[in-house]
């Protein structure tokens, strides 16, 4: 919505206040086909026969039961494994060595068991890793973007794990290295770069790093000319983003509180002791999280307080280092608004007045309150405004309709046009860059079969120039692949979008294996993007499918509202309906589907397999949110209060407790035969805390049959796993190898 820092280029998955997932859903596919008129009614079920379990029979570790009785709204539950939540869990996030030894022993045993169960997959993992890596240009660079007299960009070296931040003068000259991620990692086992942000005068960079995986960033400032860091060091920053004061005398940042919540926006002046930093705004409500940005105009620092359904914005004059935060409009429950700036006006995207898919309003800078809001782009049901960029002379909107994006360019005089694209399914991105007074829009285009293309688009002449095309070193022919899109009718008649990527030579005759990915929460829409990591699967003859169930926003904001709170069960019913339809339509063989999801997508696959365990050949649940009723009933956890508007508040409401209790994966394990399940986790994960996964796996072993049920816990990372690009590929290879084994597809090569 407003000016972004100079950040690493990484694949990142659906981020929400509680359940972030990085680098899991990178191959995402869509094609516009329209609904299939032959889709059977919900009563036409598909029966999945059992098959021989491909995994060896190795005795799993036994997790001790220490029963704790929980009585909530008159219902009694027994949690046998709640003791895995360390009493000093907050300390563990900051210092993993403080994990109690009895809990560490459980996690170590689980990792050892995972190693035993998958020891025969080493060659397959190596093949997958090699095939994924061979499709990545190792010394790649992003297309430079202009900021005043300089061009800024990010590059990688051959064999390098982390980005290198660079610049050079527009007029020419040598490249300057501003920050070298490979060198800066040092001996840290975990290392993640939050952002690298140049100062307005181009003298300094402010950079942030996390060395534990708990998303606790340290901000430092570096003199570009000397390469030396200033004494200024700020610990405990949230997100790692900064917004510079216009004269580069300091910057604004977000400070976490003792519960790891983003609590305060503070101003740091260079040379000042961090303990003396001025509090510009402190959020009083645990359910509201803070974010920080700067308008593209450079005039204002924007402070946004937001819950799941409500937001409130303050602005600070970026040119006045003594300025106070000025509120735009006081928060009102259920009303969201997000602020951009141009000249004498703010441009606000909002759902005010029932604008479910958002509308755009204009209001004077001097009197920005709601009574002065004037609609300039009215609400259009089913056409969601996703993002807004306000250049000096042009207004750009990224919109979505029928699960496809589009970019609309408008002059402030009312004239407007769409940027046209030829393919039926694609993903678009808008990068507003650093310059406000420009006619050039930087945009990206890709499809499941087309590598990413970066264009500079002249908004006046409508001319488009290609500045970069993603290179696949081993070669890539888009015509070798087929992308399809259809709709599956869910049990209540809702038409669920489905995206398919397959090799053109792979027949749709009921013989193929399928990996079915889903997310389905927080209004996140999975784009139709290009992914090199999924191609080794497709080249092996598998079909890669994305379901877009309710809870996401593929069909607009109402699609999201119809898959949350009391309607959350729709998400899981939709997902299972897609799986059954894949068999009917011949995309998947019977008992030939492995489902894959992470974070809130882990909840999706966990709840879906509980409903129909016979439907699947395997389950991949990465950092899965599966202990839902206990987590959302624990107000001490840093990210629980904001989640009550997404799932319900089971502490205060018996009805809302009932919603969650009905699908919480940990609480609904059946005494039935389940397919093989792999769960992954991170010890320093503060979003989905480490104990959810071992609890779930232990309960599956105790109450269900089948499996095996295995856990791979990263003892040195958080929710995102490794932030190093090749280490991420290795993690992906482990996940895909397990899926392939569950499907009986363990050929070492896709060629």
Q: How far apart are the C-alpha atoms of 610 and 700, rounded to whole Å?
A: 10
Q: What is the dihedral of CA 237, 242, 247, 248, to 10 degrees?
A: 60
Residue from 503, 468, 466 nearest 483 by CA:
503
For residue 138, give both structure tokens: 């190792």
Q: How far apart are the C-alpha atoms of 461 and 615, rounded to whole Å?
A: 54
DSSP type of residue 614: G
For residue 39, give both structure tokens: 């889709």
Residue from 270, 303, 337, 10 nearest 154 by CA:
10
Other C-beta atoms within 10 Å of 301: how many?
28
On the question of a cis peptide bond just before residue 708, with omega within 30 degrees of 0, the verdict is yes
Residue from 187, 129, 177 nearest 156 by CA:
177
List the beta bridge partners of residue 410: 395, 416
Burial class (CB in 10 A: 0-12, 13-18, 19+), 97: exposed
List the beta bridge partners of residue 70: 77
- Residue written as token pair 């993002």: 387
Q: How far apart are the C-alpha atoms of 273 and 300, rounded to whole Å?
A: 25
Q: How far apart are the C-alpha atoms of 488 and 173, rounded to whole Å?
A: 56
List the beta bridge partners of residue 595: 516, 619
Q: How far apart are the C-alpha atoms of 203 and 640, rounded to whole Å?
A: 41
Residue from 266, 406, 390, 274 nearest 340 by CA:
390
Other C-beta atoms within 10 Å of 380: how many?
15
Q: How far apart are the C-alpha atoms of 697 and 708, rounded to whole Å?
A: 10
* Whether the Cβ atoms of residue 606 and residue 624 lie closer than 8 Å to each other: yes
Show Cβ contacts of residue 736 under 8 Å, excluding neighbours closer than 6 positions: 128, 536, 537
Q: How far apart are the C-alpha atoms of 340 and 305, rounded to whole Å?
A: 15
For residue 436, give both structure tokens: 């406000």
The residues assigned a catalytic role are 599, 685, 719
List the beta bridge partners of residue 196: 6, 207
- Residue written as token pair 């920050």: 179
Q: Report the SS3 class of residue 671.
A: coil
Other C-beta atoms within 10 Å of 203: how many?
12
Output the CA–CA distances (angstroms, integers) from residue 407 to 186, 299, 397, 427, 639, in the order listed: 42, 25, 6, 11, 34
SS3 letters across 707-726: CCEEEEEECCCCCCCCCCHH
Helix 692-703, helix 101-117: angle, nearest 10: 60
Q: What angle do CA 715, 164, 466 make, to 5 degrees?
A: 120
For the chain, counts of helices (H) and of strands (E): 13, 42
Residue from 395, 388, 280 nearest 337 by CA:
388
């Amino acid at each position: 919505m407003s000016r972004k820092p100079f950040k690493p280029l990484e694949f990142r998955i659906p981020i929400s206040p509680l359940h972030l997932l990085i680098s899991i859903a990178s191959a995402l596919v869509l094609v516009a086909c329209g609904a299939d008129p032959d889709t059977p009614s919900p009563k036409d079920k598909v029966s999945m026969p059992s098959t021989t379990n491909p995994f060896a029979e190795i005795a799993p570790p036994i997790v001790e039961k220490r029963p704790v009785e929980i009585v909530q709204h008159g219902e009694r539950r027994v949690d046998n494994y709640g003791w895995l939540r360390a009493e000093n869990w907050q300390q563990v996030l900051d210092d993993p060595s403080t994990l109690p030894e009895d809990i560490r022993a459980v996690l170590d045993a689980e990792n050892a068991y995972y190693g035993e169960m998958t020891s025969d997959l080493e060659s397959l993992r190596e093949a997958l890793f090699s095939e994924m890596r061979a499709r990545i240009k190792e010394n790649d660079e992003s297309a430079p973007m202009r900021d005043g007299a300089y061009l800024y960009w990010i590059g990688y070296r051959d064999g390098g794990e982390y980005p290198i931040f660079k610049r050079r003068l527009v007029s020419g000259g040598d490249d300057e290295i501003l920050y070298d991620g490979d060198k800066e990692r040092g001996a840290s086992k975990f290392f993640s770069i939050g952002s690298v942000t140049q100062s307005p005068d181009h003298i300094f960079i402010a950079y942030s790093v996390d060395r534990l995986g708990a998303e606790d960033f340290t901000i430092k400032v570096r003199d570009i000319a000397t390469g030396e860091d200033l004494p200024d060091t700020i610990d405990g920053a949230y997100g790692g983003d900064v917004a510079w004061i216009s004269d580069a005398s300091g910057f604004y940042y977000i400070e976490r509180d003792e519960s790891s919540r983003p609590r305060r926006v503070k101003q740091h002046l260079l040379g000042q002791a961090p303990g003396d930093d001025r509090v510009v705004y402190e959020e009083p409500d645990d359910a509201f999280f803070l974010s920080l940005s700067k308008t593209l105009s450079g005039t204002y620092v924007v402070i946004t307080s937001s819950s799941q359904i409500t937001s409130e914005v303050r602005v600070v004059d970026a040119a006045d280092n003594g300025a106070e935060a000025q509120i735009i409009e006081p928060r009102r429950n259920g009303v969201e608004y997000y602020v951009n700036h141009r000249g004498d006006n703010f441009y606000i995207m909002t759902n005010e007045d029932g604008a479910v898919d958002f509308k755009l309003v204009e209001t004077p800078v001097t009197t920005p309150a709601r009574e002065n809001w004037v609609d300039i782009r009215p609400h259009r049901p089913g056409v969601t405004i996703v993002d807004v960029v306000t250049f000096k002379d042009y207004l750009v909107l990224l919109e979505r309709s029928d699960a496809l994006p589009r970019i609309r360019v408008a002059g402030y005089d009312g004239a407007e046009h769409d940027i046209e694209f030829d393919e039926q399914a694609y993903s678009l991105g808008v990068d507003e860059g650093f310059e406000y007074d420009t006619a050039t829009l930087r945009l990206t285009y890709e499809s499941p079969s087309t590598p990413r293309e970066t264009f500079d688009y002249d908004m006046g002449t409508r001319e488009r120039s290609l500045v970069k095309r993603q290179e696949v070193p081993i070669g890539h022919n888009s015509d070798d692949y087929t992308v399809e899109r259809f709709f599956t009718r869910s049990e209540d008649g809702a038409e669920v979008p489905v995206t398919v990527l397959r090799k053109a030579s792979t027949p749709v005759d009921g013989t193929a294996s399928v990996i079915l990915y889903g997310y389905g929460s927080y209004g996140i829409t999975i784009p139709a993007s290009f992914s090199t990591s999924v191609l080794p699967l497709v080249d092996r003859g598998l079909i890669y499918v994305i379901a877009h169930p309710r809870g996401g926003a593929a069909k607009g904001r109402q699609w999201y509202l119809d898959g949350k709170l009391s309607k959350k069960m729709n998400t899981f019913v939709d997902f299972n309906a897609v799986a059954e339809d894949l068999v009917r339509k011949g995309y998947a063989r019977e008992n030939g589907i492995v489902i894959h999801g992470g974070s809130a997508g882990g909840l999706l696959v966990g709840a879906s397999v509980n409903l129909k365990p016979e439907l699947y050949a395997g389950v991949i649940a990465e950092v899965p949110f599966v202990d839902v009723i206990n987590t959302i009933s624990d107000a001490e956890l840093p990210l629980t209060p904001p989640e009550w508007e997404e799932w319900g508040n089971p502490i205060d409401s018996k009805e809302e407790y009932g919603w969650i209790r009905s699908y919480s994966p940990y609480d609904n394990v059946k005494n039935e035969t389940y397919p093989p399940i792999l769960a992954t986790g991170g010890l320093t994960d503060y979003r989905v805390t480490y104990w959810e996964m071992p609890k779930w796996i232990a309960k599956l072993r105790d109450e269900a049959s089948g499996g095996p049920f295995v856990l791979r816990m990263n003892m040195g990372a958080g929710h995102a796993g490794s932030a190093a690009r090749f280490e991420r590929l290795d993690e992906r290879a482990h996940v895909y190898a397990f899926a392939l084994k569950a499907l009986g597809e363990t050929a070492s090569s896709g060629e």
